[in-house]
C-alpha cells in the first residue's frame, strides 16, 4: 500500500498541510459550515467557503471556528473539516486509500487527555499513524535551529489565537509560556478602538482585513482603508476611512504584552544559556509576526536580536515537515515531552 507522509497544523485561524516532497499543499481557514443540529448535522462547506458564509447564513446553517485561543473546542466539527482536507490532498487517481502518516503540530504542553483529542481528530479523519509535536519545537525546526544541541534556540510563535514562547535546549523546553494574545484578541481590540474613535462598529472579519491590509506598529505610516460598518449613534450603515496609525494605537499594547512575556521567559533563562540567548536572540514566527514593525518593537524592548521569518505563518508546519523520516530526532523530542 502506498504511504503518504504529511505534517498538519490545525491553528485557530488556519489549518495547513505539508506533503512530503511537495511542500505546503493546503492552507485554509479553520472553519466549518453545517446545517441541522444534534445528530442531524451535515457539513455544507469547510475552509474558505465556510468563512465566506460567516454572518450571512440562513437560520438552519451555522458557521463554526472549531479552534478557539489555540485549542480544539468543537471536536466533531474539527474532525469533519480534517476529513475533507485529507480528501483534498489525496492524489487525483488512487486505487487504494494510501496509508497516511502525519506529524501533527499541537499547542505546547498539552495534558494526556488533550493530546488524545488531537490524535483522535486526525486518526478519524483518515490518518493511520500520528506523531504529535509541540508548536514551539516545530517553530524552532522551521527556523532550522539546532534543537538537539545545548541552547538550541529561543522562539516565539504569534498565531491567530495564542502566542507561544520557549527557550529550547537538547530537544526540550528549558523555560516557556503561552499567552492568549493572538489575532482574535487583536481584532476585538481594533473593533473597540474604532467604536471609541469613530463611533463605527465593524465585524470581526473587517477588523481582521484592516489588520492584515494596513496594520502596522509604525506610528508614521500614512496608509488608510475605507471600511463599511454601522454608526453606533444613528444605527445606520456608514463608511469610514481607517488609518494605519489607528491600527498602531490599537495593536501596539498587545505586541508590548508579548514582549513582556518574552522578557519573563528570558528572566528565567539559566545563566549558562544566557549569553547564547543574548547572541542569537529570538526567532519569531506565526501569522501575526507579519505586521510591519514587529522586529523593531520587540528589538527595542528586549534589547536582543530579533529575527522574523519571511513566511511566518508557515514556519510551524514546515518545521513539522522536517521531522518526516527523522526517527532519531522524533525519539529525542518524545523523550523530553
Ligand atoms: N499581513 C498581516 N499582518 C498582520 N497579521 C496577519 C497578516 N497576515 C496574517 N495575519 C494574521 O495571522 C494570524 C494567523 O496566523 P497563523 O496561521 O500563524 O495562526 P494559527 O496557527 O491559525 O493560530 P494559533 O497558532 O494561535 O492557533 C491571523 O490572525 C491573521 O490575521
Ligand atoms: Mg499556529
Mutate which of 250, 313, 316, 317 for ligand 1 pocket (most atoms within 8 A of beta carbon): 313
For residue 59, being part of any structural domain is answered with yes
Q: Whose CA is nearest to atom 1 of ligand 1?
A: 212
What is residue 308's predicted lDDT score, i.e. its pLDDT? 98
Q: What is the CATH number of the domain that holds 270?
A: 3.30.420.40
- In DSSP notation, 166-216 reads EEEETTEEEEEEEES-SHHHHHHHHHHHHHHHH-EE--HHHHHHHHHHH--
For residue 157, being part of any structural domain is answered with yes
120 and 150 fall within a common domain: no
258 and 185 fall within a common domain: yes
Asked if the model's pLDDT at residue 93 lies above 80, the reply is: no
Contacts of 232 (CB under 8 A, 6+ apart): 195, 199, 200, 201
172 and 286 fall within a common domain: yes
44 and 188 fall within a common domain: no
304 and 323 fall within a common domain: no
165 and 130 fall within a common domain: no
179 and 89 fall within a common domain: no
251 and 231 fall within a common domain: yes
pLDDT one-digit tens code per residue, 168-223 = 999 999 999 999 999 999 999 999 999 999 999 999 999 999 999 999 999 999 99
Asked if the model's pLDDT at residue 123 lies above 80, the reply is: yes
- pLDDT, average across residues 238-243: 97
Ligand 1 centre to CA of 248 (Å) is 17
Mutate which of 7, 9, 13 for ligand 1 pocket (most atoms within 8 A of beta carbon): 13
Q: Which atom of ligand 1 is nearest to the CA of 67?
A: 27
Asked if the model's pLDDT at residue 39 lies above 80, the reply is: no
Q: What are the Cα distances from residue 250, in Å, to 191, 199, 210, 227, 232?
A: 9, 15, 12, 16, 19
For residue 77, being part of any structural domain is answered with yes
For residue 314, being part of any structural domain is answered with no
- pLDDT, average across residues 87-113: 89
For residue 313, being part of any structural domain is answered with no
Q: Which ligand is nearest to the CA of 70?
A: 1
Helix axes 244-267, 204-214, angle to 10 degrees: 80
122 and 151 fall within a common domain: no
Q: Whose CA is nearest to atom 28 of ligand 1?
A: 160
Beta bridge partners of 308: 284
- In DSSP notation, 217-249 reads S-TT---EEEEEEEETTTTEEEEEEEEHHHHHH
What is residue 55's predicted lDDT score, i.e. its pLDDT? 81
Helix axes 294-302, 244-267, angle to 10 degrees: 40
Q: Which residues line ligand 1 (CB under 6 A)?
A: 9, 11-14, 67, 70, 159-162, 182-183, 208, 211-212, 215, 286-288, 290-291, 313
For residue 303, being part of any structural domain is answered with yes
Q: Which atom of ligand 1 is nearest to the CA of 30?
A: 22
Which residues are found with C-beta within 5 Å of the ion, ligand 2?
11, 159
Ligand 2 centre to CA of 239 (Å) is 33
pLDDT one-digit tens code per residue, 289-334 = 999 999 999 999 999 999 999 999 999 999 999 999 999 999 999 9
- pLDDT, average across residues 68-95: 91
Residue 122 confidence class, pLDDT cut points 50, 70, 90:
very high
254 and 323 fall within a common domain: no
Domain tally, the chain: 2
Residue 45 sits in which domain range? Answer: 3-137+319-336
Order of strands, sheet of 224-231, starting from the edge strand that comes earlier in the sequence: 200-201, 224-231, 236-243
Residue 40 confidence class, pLDDT cut points 50, 70, 90:
confident
Mutate which of 156, 160, 208, 318 for ligand 1 pocket (most atoms within 8 A of beta carbon): 160
23 and 87 fall within a common domain: yes
**Are 182 and 157 a contacting pair, CB within 8 Å?**
no
What is residue 162's predicted lDDT score, i.e. its pLDDT? 97
101 and 209 fall within a common domain: no
Residue 58 confidence class, pLDDT cut points 50, 70, 90:
confident
Asked if the model's pLDDT at residue 92 lies above 80, the reply is: no
Give CA–CA dist 19/324, Å, rounded: 10
Chain centroid to CA 264: how far? Answer: 22
Amino acid at each position: 500500500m502506498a504511504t503518504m507522509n504529511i505534517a498538519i497544523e490545525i491553528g485557530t485561524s488556519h489549518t495547513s498541510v505539508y506533503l512530503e516532497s511537495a511542500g505546503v499543499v493546503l492552507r485554509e481557514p479553520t472553519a466549518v459550515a453545517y446545517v441541522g443540529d444534534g445528530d442531524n448535522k451535515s457539513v455544507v462547506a469547510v475552509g474558505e467557503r465556510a468563512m465566506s458564509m460567516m454572518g450571512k447564513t440562513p437560520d438552519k446553517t451555522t458557521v463554526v471556528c472549531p479552534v478557539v485561543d489555540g485549542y480544539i473546542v468543537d471536536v466533531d466539527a474539527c474532525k469533519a473539516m480534517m476529513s475533507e482536507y485529507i480528501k483534498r490532498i489525496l492524489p487525483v487517481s488512487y486505487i487504494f486509500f494510501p496509508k497516511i502518516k502525519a506529524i501533527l503540530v499541537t499547542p505546547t504542553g498539552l495534558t494526556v487527555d488533550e493530546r488524545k483529542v488531537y490524535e483522535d481528530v486526525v486518526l478519524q479523519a483518515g490518518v493511520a499513524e500520528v506523531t504529535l509535536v509541540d508548536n514551539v519545537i516545530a517553530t524552532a525546526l522551521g527556523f532550522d535551529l539546532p534543537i538537539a544541541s545545548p541552547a538550541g534556540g529561543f522562539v516565539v510563535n504569534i498565531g491567530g489565537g495564542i502566542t507561544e514562547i520557549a527557550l529550547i535546549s537538547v530537544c526540550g523546553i528549558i523555560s516557556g509560556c503561552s499567552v492568549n494574545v493572538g489575532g482574535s484578541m487583536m481584532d476585538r481590540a481594533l473593533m473597540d478602538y474604532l467604536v471609541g474613535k469613530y463611533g463605527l462598529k465593524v465585524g470581526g472579519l473587517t477588523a481582521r482585513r484592516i489588520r492584515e491590509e494596513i496594520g502596522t506598529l509604525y506610528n508614521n505610516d500614512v496608509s488608510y482603508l475605507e471600511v463599511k460598518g454601522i454608526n453606533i449613534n444613528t444605527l445606520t450603515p456608514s463608511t469610514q476611512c481607517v488609518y494605519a496609525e489607528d491600527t498602531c494605537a490599537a495593536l501596539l499594547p498587545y505586541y508590548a504584552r508579548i514582549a513582556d512575556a518574552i522578557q519573563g521567559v528570558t528572566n528565567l533563562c539559566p545563566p549558562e544559556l544566557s549569553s547564547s540567548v543574548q547572541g542569537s536572540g529570538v526567532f519569531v514566527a506565526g501569522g501575526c509576526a507579519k505586521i510591519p514593525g514587529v522586529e523593531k518593537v520587540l528589538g527595542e524592548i528586549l534589547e536582543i536580536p530579533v529575527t522574523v521569518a519571511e513566511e511566518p505563518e508557515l514556519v510551524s508546519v514546515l518545521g513539522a515537515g522536517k521531522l518526516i523520516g527523522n526517527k532519531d530526532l522524533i525519539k529525542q523530542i518524545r523523550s523530553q515531552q
